[in-house]
Chain A
Amino acid sequence: MTALLEARGLRLAFGGVKAADGIDLAVMRAEFLAIIGPNGAGKTTFINMVTGYLRPQGGTITYEGAEITGRRPREIVRRGIARSFQLPQLFSEHTVEENAALAIAARQGIWSPFVPLLRPAWRDEARELLDRFGLLPLATRRADALNEGTRKLADIAMAVALKPRLLLMDEPTSGVSASEKMAVVETLARVLREAGVTAVFVEHDMDVVARFADRVAVWSQGRIVALGPPAQILADPVVQREVIGIERHA
């Protein structure tokens, strides 16, 4: 296995707060890597730096052998890195299938002023995608009429529609009800494995982490304090006390 994404010595501070204090991390092709850690540890900052939303003050990010440090989000997406959001970022005045179709259009080429967005090919693809996420019944519903859990799924579906090789997800299961959570992640994992997508996800639910992650990285105060297979990391007493303990209470 080779590294798909490699971060070296990433540094970023907001005022006096160190959100990234020398992050070194290699993400392997086709693995599912979970990021855990207390709030404010810099998990989302890492995703923001990789996807170009924030520019690191030091260090480098290499993707598929090319350096992408500090490039703009648009450029990074075009290289095959997509992301989903902690707070779903949907086009609220569009229907769910239009949201998906816009993502497909973004991938296929948006510059066609004469053919409708919901042309048969894209509509079919959008519906097939929504079907895989169990969203087909809601396809013609406006995005702002959905509940939080479905918004979250639609948000991820849009990222998947971009057909990335690397997908970064910020708390994909927050907001999804406890009873549905496992089923949702199950579906998601299947879709990603089928497509051979590498995934990095920030997660607070340790059961989800234990079940789906190939590796777990533990974040604390802008640093990676532990990295390894879930069985080993989740059993570590320090991690249990410092990270998971706080998590449970929070």
Chain B
Amino acid sequence: MGNWFTENGPLLGLALLDGIASAALIFMVAVGLNLVFGVLRVLNVAHGSLFAIGAYAAASVGFFAASAGLPAWASLPALLFAAMLVGLVLGPLIERLLLRRIYDEEPVLQLLVTFALFMILEDAQKLVWGVQPVSFSTPVSLMGTVDVPFGTDVIPYNTYQVILLPAVAVVTLVGLAIFLRRTLTGRVILAVTMDREAATAMGIDARKVFLLTFTFGAMLAALGGALSTPTSSLVPGIGASTIVLSFAVVATAGLGQIEGAALTALMIGIGRSIAVTFYPELEVVVPYIIMVAVLLVRPQGLFGVVETRRV
């Protein structure tokens, strides 16, 4: 075992670096889904569509900024702007027009409403952006690479992926934690997450909280998409594969738990990159193995609170 580590230590180090970079993106998408689920108790399948639309919108805004003659550094705020735009437009629209009508329904109906929305948005996105892969990699080129030593060799990494993405994820995590625990709005959201009935009984306007949270969640989804744009080409179907992974994160993390989402994202990201390095065959099933293992030990998820049924 010690031998194995001395031999493969450097490789393991590289895998950790890759894992952290991919965990950052996984976290960005999953945390929004988890937040929305915690407050609205609606498992939003259309979160994947918001991710995809955010990604495409980021590319469009980026191209527009470039064609308008803005300097290359403007591509970074362009990503953020695109995500805000998507979240602020689509979030309230979806919440007001659709979700609001179904809060009192059974969970399966709520889930299917978002599933239907997902199907509609999937085709709508095709109508707007077509089916040819779209890519916008200016931010990655802009930020260049950092060389990581590996034995006598060096491995170049994208600064964007190993520095900026994890930094954004950490800022989001810390910012969210402070927002939820220290500000009044945040505490209200937290109160609704923990006990909706008690919170409404205390006079909290749940509808307002729902609207706010959903819009916020939509922005996080779109931001996740926007942040993935510089490193990957956008094609139809990216929303579908994103949402399955995010579901696994939510169930593993525990409902509404942002720290849980962060830890799960890290486990999945690092687990996958270690798998790619040492057991490539396992890469695909890593998230599910982690989820099943966690739920075997902790049936309520990593950070889930056991809901005591009052009798």
Contacts and interface: CB of A to CB of B under 8 A. Distances in A.
Do A and B share a direct contact in the complex (Cβ within 8 angstroms)? Answer: yes
A133 interface: no
A232 interface: no
Nearest to B311: A85
The size class of the interface chain B forms with chain A is: under 10
A86 B310 CA distance: 10
Contacts of B310: 87
A48 interface: yes
A86 B311 CA distance: 7
A198 to B, nearest CB: 21
Interface string A175-210: 000000000000000000000000000000000000
Interface residues of A, number: 6
Nearest to A48: B311
Nearest to A89: B311
Interface string A78-99: 0000000111010000000000
A53 B309 CA distance: 10
Contacts of A53: 311
B96 to A, nearest CB: 30
B308 to A, nearest CB: 10
A67 B311 CA distance: 24
Contacts of A87: 310-311
A42 B29 CA distance: 45
A88 to B, nearest CB: 10
Contacts, number: 7
A50 to B, nearest CB: 13
Nearest to B310: A87
A53 B308 CA distance: 10
A48 B310 CA distance: 11
Contacts of A89: 311
Contacts of A85: 311
Residues of A contacting B: mostly: loop
A73 to B, nearest CB: 10
A85 B311 CA distance: 6
Interface in B263-290: none
B106 to A, nearest CB: 11
B174 to A, nearest CB: 29
A223 to B, nearest CB: 23
A89 B310 CA distance: 10
Contacts of B311: 48, 53, 85-87, 89
Nearest to A44: B311
Contacts of A48: 311
Contacts of A86: 311
Interface in A30-52: 48
A87 B311 CA distance: 7
Interface in A53-92: 53, 85-87, 89
A60 to B, nearest CB: 23
Nearest to A85: B311
Interface in B282-311: 310-311
A155 to B, nearest CB: 11
A48 B308 CA distance: 13
A123 to B, nearest CB: 28
B201 to A, nearest CB: 16
A1 B270 CA distance: 67
A87 B310 CA distance: 9
A134 B7 CA distance: 80
Interface string B212-232: 000000000000000000000
A172 to B, nearest CB: 15
A84 B310 CA distance: 13
A223 B311 CA distance: 21
A144 to B, nearest CB: 14
B197 to A, nearest CB: 13
B306 to A, nearest CB: 13
A89 B311 CA distance: 8
A53 B311 CA distance: 9
A86 B309 CA distance: 13
B311 to A, nearest CB: 6
A225 B311 CA distance: 25
A4 B13 CA distance: 65
A130 to B, nearest CB: 23
A12 to B, nearest CB: 14
A129 to B, nearest CB: 22
A85 B309 CA distance: 12
A87 B309 CA distance: 11
A40 to B, nearest CB: 14
A119 to B, nearest CB: 29
A137 to B, nearest CB: 28
A105 B247 CA distance: 38
A205 B174 CA distance: 53
Interface string B72-90: 0000000000000000000
Interface in B214-266: none
7 contacts: A48-B311, A53-B311, A85-B311, A86-B311, A87-B310, A87-B311, A89-B311
- A-B complex: 7 closest residue pairs judged by Cβ atoms: A85-B311, A53-B311, A89-B311, A87-B310, A48-B311, A87-B311, A86-B311
